[in-house]
């Protein structure tokens, strides 16, 4: 099953839409034999993106429920706190993780999904939250006290930052309100039975295994006397 278009990084969505109407046959050709294609790739044109491409991106951003004031805050905090990540996304990632600045290494595994749009960093369709905004965003997604699973699901729809899952689990685990309303496994109520008038009128039995042998356990409801009987094995010949 193919992934939905919205889950693809921004830079791939336009390409996917452009080739969506074609029935492509992919054939591998070694780079050393692609002289013309290699030459053209080094002579890219300085053109602005078509109007429909820019409109597509705006429509996609409208799917995120972010107010104008919050969007401005994301832009300002991203510029102040994630400027190294912003710059490396714009210029291109190095070949190895060791070449990445220490503050950016936590984003290394997600580097292929990171993109910049209107001054905000996104991981696919999720906003990369600057450090000073993470506590406020954590409180925002937890304000309805929906528990760990629902809170994680809500965060995955729009927000991203490293160690987000661990911080959500810690936040919900320390919340007294979540503990009070957490769904607990329902306990089976006790069902008392009427005591018989004579011994061995009513018994309970069960089978258990011990040291490789099977036994049957019987208990008299009247005297609570216990009997254990070894079950013999019959070998067919």
Instruction: Quickly list DSSP for 104-117.
Output: GGGGGGGGGGEEEE
13 or 94, greater pLDDT: 94
Q: How confident is the model at residue 118 (pLDDT cuts 50, 70, 90)?
A: confident
pTM, whole model, 2 decimals?
0.55
- Strands, E assignment, the chain: 114-117, 120-123, 126-128, 159-160, 203-210, 213-220, 226-230
* Rounded Cα distance, 73 and 131, in Å: 12
Q: Break the chain into its structural domains and give their ranges.
A: 8-14+52-180, 194-231
- Strands, E assignment, 125-168: 126-128, 159-160
Contact residues for 214 (Cβ-Cβ < 8 A; gap 6+): 207, 208, 230, 231
pLDDT at 216: 93
Nearest by Cα to 118 from 64, 175, 156, 184: 64
pLDDT at 140: 87
Which structure tokens are listed for 58?
Answer: 């705006």
- Strands, E assignment, 113-202: 114-117, 120-123, 126-128, 159-160
Over residues 41-66, mean pLDDT: 55
* Rounded Cα distance, 41 and 31, in Å: 12
Question: Can you say how many angstroms the Cα of residue 144 is from the centroid of all Cα atoms in its chain?
Answer: 20
In words, the CATH class of domain 8-14+52-180 is mainly alpha
pLDDT at 58: 44
pLDDT per residue as tens digits for the range 126-178: 889 999 999 999 888 888 877 788 888 888 888 899 989 899 888 888 888 87
Which structure tokens are listed for 109?
Answer: 């595994």
At 143, give phi and psi (nearest 5°): -65, -20
pLDDT at 49: 56
* Rounded Cα distance, 155 and 143, in Å: 12
């Amino acid at each position: 099953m193919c992934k939905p278009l919205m889950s693809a990084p921004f830079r791939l969505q336009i390409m996917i839409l452009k080739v969506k109407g074609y029935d492509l046959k992919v054939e591998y050709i070694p780079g050393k034999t692609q002289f013309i294609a290699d030459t053209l790739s080094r002579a890219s044109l300085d053109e602005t993106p078509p109007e429909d491409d820019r409109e597509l991106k705006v429509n996609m951003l409208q799917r995120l429920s972010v107010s104008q004031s919050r969007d401005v805050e994301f832009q300002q905090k991203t510029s102040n706190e994630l400027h190294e990540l912003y710059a490396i996304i714009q210029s291109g990632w190095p070949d190895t993780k060791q070449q990445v600045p220490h503050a950016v290494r936590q984003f290394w595994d997600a580097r292929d999904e990171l993109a910049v749009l209107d001054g905000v960093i996104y991981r696919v369709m999720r906003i990369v939250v600057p450090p000073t905004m993470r506590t406020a965003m954590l409180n925002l997604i937890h304000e309805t006290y929906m528990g760990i699973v629902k809170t994680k699901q809500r965060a995955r729809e729009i927000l991203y930052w490293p160690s987000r899952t661990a911080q959500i689990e810690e936040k919900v685990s320390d919340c007294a309100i979540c503990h009070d309303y957490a769904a607990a496994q329902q306990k089976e109520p006790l069902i008392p039975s009427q005591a018989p008038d004579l011994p061995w009128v009513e018994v309970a039995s069960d089978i258990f295994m011990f040291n490789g042998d099977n036994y049957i356990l019987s208990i008299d409801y009247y005297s609570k006397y216990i009997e254990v009987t070894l079950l013999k094995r019959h070998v067919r010949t």
